[in-house]
Structure 1
Amino acid sequence: MKVVVQRVVKASVTVDEELVSSIGRGLCVLVGISRDDTKKDMDYIVRKLINLRVFDGENGRRWDVSVKDKGYEILCISQFTLYHALKGNKLDFHNAMSADRSEAFYKAFLDSMRSQYQPELIKDGRFGAYMQVSMENDGPVTVVLESPKKEEL
């Protein structure tokens, strides 16, 4: 799994001009699922996301507390394009998990996030839809996380 995490002041996702989800301060997470991902990959990413220290703590200590420590929201957006390969100038997505398998995997990922954090603070877009994501990056702070290679798990 690979996620692109952005610390945000606010973020939202719309589909066909309809607001699907929005959050205030927290994390906007673009979620990529590879064709080889397993529950171990999911568990690793969930643990890292919830505990990633990208917020200021007491007395302005930088990089001191997590979204969980602050009680902030998380907006997750499925994004298969994170597992692209370039063939010349054309994108190829053979490394991404197929849509029929990845939807169930993505839902399990959201369920895992909700079971390990406050479920009402975990929001998401609409799987497989053409979405518009709007975010106001805070910092800016952007972090890319990827689950370790299988032999490292």
Structure 2
Amino acid sequence: MRALIQRVVSADAAYVNGEVISSIGRGLCVLVGVANGDTKKDIDYIVKKILNLKLFEDDESESSKPFKKSVKDRHLEILCLSQITLYHTLKGNKLDFHHAMAPAQSRDFYGEFLQALRSQYEPDLVKEGAFGEHLVIGIKNDGPVTVMLESPKSPTTELEQTVPDVDG
């Protein structure tokens, strides 16, 4: 599971026709990608990181120290958007998504992620876009501050990925 987290002054998600689905003020805009084989462990890891990353100053004063408080500490909003392109590979110049979870399965998994995030935070502060829809996203990045997270994979998976193909 991957999450691209951006600290924002504001963010919104709208349909192409301009109808706004969700909007937030200060907080985090989180683009979420789901891979084949992701589990509840991956959700737990990403949710914990989103809520606890120290991405905000300790207060609003000019003398405040940066990177001291989390979105949870500051009681700020979160806008989550499903993002299949976080699990792309390139075949020449064409995007391929065979590492991404299939759409039907991914929709349910992403729903579980949102439920976990809301259950560990303030549900009214967690907003979402529309899964699988073509959206226009407005982001006013603050900083800019952008962090890429990936949930850890099991040692077996990592080993399989790093062993060279000696038969070929």
Q: Which moved more, 1:105-114 or 1:57-66?
A: 57-66
> Does 1:114 find its partner at 2:118?
yes
Partner of 1:88: 92
List aligned pairs for 1:1-153, cutoff 5 A. 1-15=1-15, 16-58=17-59, 59-151=63-155
Q: Which moved more, 1:113-122 or 1:14-23?
A: 14-23
Could you give the per-residue CA deviations for residues 120-146 of structure 1, whole angstroms, max 9, x where no partner exists? Answer: 000000001001100100000000000
With normalisation by structure 2, the TM-score equals 0.88
The number of residues matched between the two structures is 152
Shift of 1:149: 1.4
Partner of 2:164: none
Moved beyond 4 Å, runs of 4+: none
State the identity %: 55
Matched to 1:10, the amino acid is S
Could you give the per-residue CA deviations for residues 78-133 of structure 1, whole angstroms, max 9, x where no partner exists? Answer: 00110000111111000000001000000000000000000000000000100110
Could you give the per-residue CA deviations for residues 45-100 of structure 1, whole angstroms, max 9, x where no partner exists? Answer: 00000001000114411110000000000000000110000111111000000001
Equivalent-residue separation in structure 2 for 1:25 and 1:151 (angstroms):
38
With normalisation by structure 1, the TM-score equals 0.97
Query: Which segments of 5 or more consecutive residues in structure 2 lack a partner in the other structure?
Result: 157-168
Matched to 1:84, the amino acid is H
Q: What's the Cα RMSD here?
A: 1.0
Shift of 1:36: 1.3
Query: Which segments of 5 or more consecutive residues in structure 1 lack a partner in the other structure?
Result: none
Matched to 1:25, the amino acid is R
Q: Which structure has the larger Rg?
A: 2
Equivalent-residue separation in structure 2 for 1:17 and 1:57 (angstroms):
36
Shift of 1:151: 2.6
Greater share of strand: 1
